[in-house]
């Protein structure tokens, strides 16, 4: 893969996402300080570049949007090393005074646990007891669920085929009020997703999610 392909938004922003998560990891590893919020500035700069680049695709915009919410929580909203902690034997660990390698392992664990499993902020509702089923019956059930999910995903995104905001050389500012309402309504099921409600999104940012969708930031970098 050439350097130009790595630093391009299409077909996928490999280089930019790698830089994004490297900066986010550095912010989580850094000890508590008011200056820690400065890590968010380069993330905003890359986000602005994504929104300004009409070549970026739908997948890039969707993944970037979720990543930006995570970064805003861990950098701007939550003092991660003082407010978040692992459960069990690690509960009393003073992570902010730990060596760099310990803080690095802790940060990687946090970023890889979007639902907070094993963390004090994780879901407290106990999962239902697993039913006893055969291997092949389980595989068949998962295949049916996968097909149904794909059909539902396609049905939900049918409106993008007629949305003038997602056609070449046009932006959401030309789409009109009706399509902005459709785009905003399309993000509301995210708030009901059990993964999001389990800890990925803090309730303090729900309003900003809706406003982001209203302004079209999520679907702006999509092309048909």
Q: Say what the pLDDT of residue 130 is.
A: 67
Residue 15 domain flag: yes
The answer, yes or no, to whether residue 76 has pLDDT greater than 90, is: yes
Of 23-27, 131-135, 199-203, minimum mean pLDDT range: 199-203
Q: Say what the pLDDT of residue 27 is.
A: 96
Residue 78 domain flag: yes
Domain span at 209: 3-120+162-214
Q: What is the pLDDT of residues 194-208, one digit of tens each?
A: 444 444 444 334 444
- Per-chain mean pLDDT for the chain: 74
Residue 115 domain flag: yes
Q: Which of 23-27, 108-112, 126-130, 177-181 has the highest mean pLDDT?
A: 23-27
| Rounded Cα gap, residues 155 and 186, in angstroms | 11
Please choose, from the candidates 165, 177, 206, 30, the residue with its C-alpha nearest in 3D space to the C-alpha of residue 107.
30
Q: What's the number of domains the chain is made of?
A: 1
Residue 68 domain flag: yes
């Amino acid at each position: 893969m050439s350097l130009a392909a790595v630093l391009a938004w299409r077909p996928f922003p490999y280089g930019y996402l790698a830089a994004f998560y490297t900066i986010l990891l550095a912010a989580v590893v850094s000890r508590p300080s008011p200056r820690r919020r400065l890590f968010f500035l380069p993330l905003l700069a890359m986000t602005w570049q994504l929104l300004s680049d009409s070549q970026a695709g739908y997948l890039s915009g969707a993944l970037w949007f979720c990543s930006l919410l995570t970064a805003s929580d861990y950098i701007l909203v939550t003092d991660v090393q003082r407010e978040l902690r692992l459960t069990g034997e690690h509960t009393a660990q003073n992570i902010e005074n730990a060596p760099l390698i310990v803080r690095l392992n802790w940060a990687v664990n946090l970023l890889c646990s979007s639902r907070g499993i094993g963390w004090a902020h994780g879901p407290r509702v106990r999962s239902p007891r697993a039913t006893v089923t055969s291997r092949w019956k389980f595989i068949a059930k998962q295949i049916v669920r996968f097909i149904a999910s794909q059909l539902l995903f396609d049905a939900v995104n049918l409106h993008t085929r007629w949305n003038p905001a997602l056609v070449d050389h046009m932006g959401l500012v030309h789409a009109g009020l009706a399509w902005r309402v459709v785009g905003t309504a399309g993000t509301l099921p995210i708030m009901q997703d059990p993964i999001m409600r389990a800890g990925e999104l803090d309730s303090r940012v729900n309003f900003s999610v809706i406003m982001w969708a209203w302004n079209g930031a999520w679907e702006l970098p999509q092309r048909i």
